[in-house]
Each structure stands twice: as C-alpha cells, then as structure tokens.
C-alpha cells in the first residue's frame, strides 16, 4: 500500500455532526496552499487519512473543511483535479 501524503494535520475529534472541521494554515505541510473548492488529504497520527473539501480560507489562516466519507483511495479522482 502506498503512503498517503497528508496536506493538513487535523483532529478528527473536533469534527461536527455535519462533517465540518476547522484547522489552520500552520497545520499544513511545507508549501501547502489551501484553495476554497479544492480537495485535500487530511489526517492525524491515530486515524486513517481522509479526503476533505476546502470550504473556506480566511485572512487569519483559518481553514474550514468538509470531511468526505470513505477512503482516500475512493476519492483519488477528486484529488487529481487539484
């Protein structure tokens, strides 16, 4: 199995019932630039990575995400668009 590069570190425990989550630009890998509407890989050390849609990015570097259900592999087509 290939290793998945994580774009943003997140804490899945903070996810809302609507599958929304906030993180900060500082939690991104070096060189990562979040763009609203794009899909990214997210994860933490105690959970499997997931794919999220960047909903918004504000001037303070706060990033709103919508976590998609399913595996990273099931969303490879969305990541390829990006």
* pLDDT tens-digit readout, 46-81: 889 999 999 999 999 999 999 999 999 999 999 987
**Confidence category of residue 1, pLDDT binned at 50, 70, 90:** very low
pLDDT at 19: 96
> Does pLDDT of 24 surpass 80?
yes
Tokens representing residue 19 in the block: 């599958």
Sole residue written with tokens 């570190």 = 9
Angle in degrees, CA 12, 23, 67, rounded to 5: 50
* Domain range list for the chain: 8-80
Residue 12: its pLDDT value, please? 94
Considering the chain, what is the average pLDDT of its residues? 93
Tokens of 32: 């990562």
CATH match of 8-80 with 2.40.240: yes
Q: Which helix (H) or strand (E) holds 49?
A: strand 47-57
| 45 pLDDT tier (thresholds 50, 70, 90) | confident
């Amino acid at each position: 199995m290939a290793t998945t590069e994580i774009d943003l570190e997140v804490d899945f425990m903070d996810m809302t019932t609507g599958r929304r989550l906030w993180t900060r630009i500082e939690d991104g890998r070096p060189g990562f630039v979040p763009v609203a509407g794009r899909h990214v890989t997210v994860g933490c050390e105690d959970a499997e990575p997931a794919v999220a849609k960047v909903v918004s990015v504000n001037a303070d570097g706060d990033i709103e995400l919508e976590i998609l259900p399913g595996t990273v592999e099931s969303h490879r087509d969305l990541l390829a668009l990006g």
